[in-house]
Amino acid sequence: MAHKIKVLQISTECYPAAKAGGMGDVVGALPLYLPGQGIESSVVIPRYKRKWFEDHSFVSIHSGTVALGERDVQFEIQKLASTELGYPFYCVNIPGLFDREDIYLADDGHGYPDEKERYISFQLAILHWLTDGTESFDVLHCHDHMTGLITFLMQYCEAFRKLKDIPTAFTIHNGEYRGVFGWEVMAYFPWFEEGRGGLLDWDGDINSLATALKCAWKVNTVSPAYMQELIDDMGALTPLIRHEQAKCLGIINGIDDVLWNPETDKYLKNRRLVKNNWKGFKSKNKTFLLKKYDLKARRPLIGFIGRMAHQKGADILIESVEQCLAEGMKFSTVVLGSGDKQIETSLVDLAKKYPRDIGVTIAYDEKLARAIYAGCDFLMMPSRFEPCGLNQMYSMRYGTVPIVSHVGGLKDTVPDINDNGYGIVARSVDAEGFKEGIQRAIAFYGDKSGLAKHIKKITKIDYSWNNSASQYAEMYRELLKN
Interface residues toward ligand GLC, by CB under 6 A: 21-23, 26, 173-174, 222, 253, 386-390, 409
User: Measured from the CB atom, is 370 or 411 closer to ligand GLC?
Assistant: 411
User: Measured from the CB atom, is 22 or 359 closer to ligand GLC?
Assistant: 22
Instruction: Tally the residues of the chain.
Output: 482
State in angstroms the smallest separation of the CB of 412 from ligand GLC.
Answer: 11
Contacts of residue 144, Cβ cutoff 8 Å, sequence gap at least 6: 11, 12, 23, 171, 172, 173, 174, 177, 209
User: Measured from the CB atom, is 26 or 371 closer to ligand GLC?
Assistant: 26
User: Measured from the CB atom, is 249 or 348 closer to ligand GLC?
Assistant: 249
User: Measured from the CB atom, is 102 or 322 closer to ligand GLC?
Assistant: 102
- Neighbouring C-beta atoms of residue 396, cutoff 10 Å: 25
State in angstroms the smallest separation of the CB of 413 from ligand GLC.
Answer: 10
The residue number with the shortest CB distance to ligand GLC is: 22
User: Measured from the CB atom, is 148 or 359 closer to ligand GLC?
Assistant: 148
- For 84-141, the DSSP string reads TTSS-EEEEE-TTTT-SSSSSB-TTSSBPTTHHHHHHHHHHHHHHHHHT-SS--SEEE
Distance CA(428)–CA(118), nearest Å, equals 39
State in angstroms the smallest separation of the CB of 194 from ligand GLC.
Answer: 37
Cα 284-289-292 angle, rounded to 5 deg: 125
- Neighbouring C-beta atoms of residue 22, cutoff 10 Å: 24
State in angstroms the smallest separation of the CB of 173 from ligand GLC.
Answer: 3
Distance CA(33)–CA(271), nearest Å, equals 28
State in angstroms the smallest separation of the CB of 255 from ligand GLC.
Answer: 10
State in angstroms the smallest separation of the CB of 106 from ligand GLC.
Answer: 20
N-terminal to C-terminal alpha carbon distance within the chain: 22
Helix-then-strand count for the chain, H and E: 16, 18
DSSP designation for 418: G
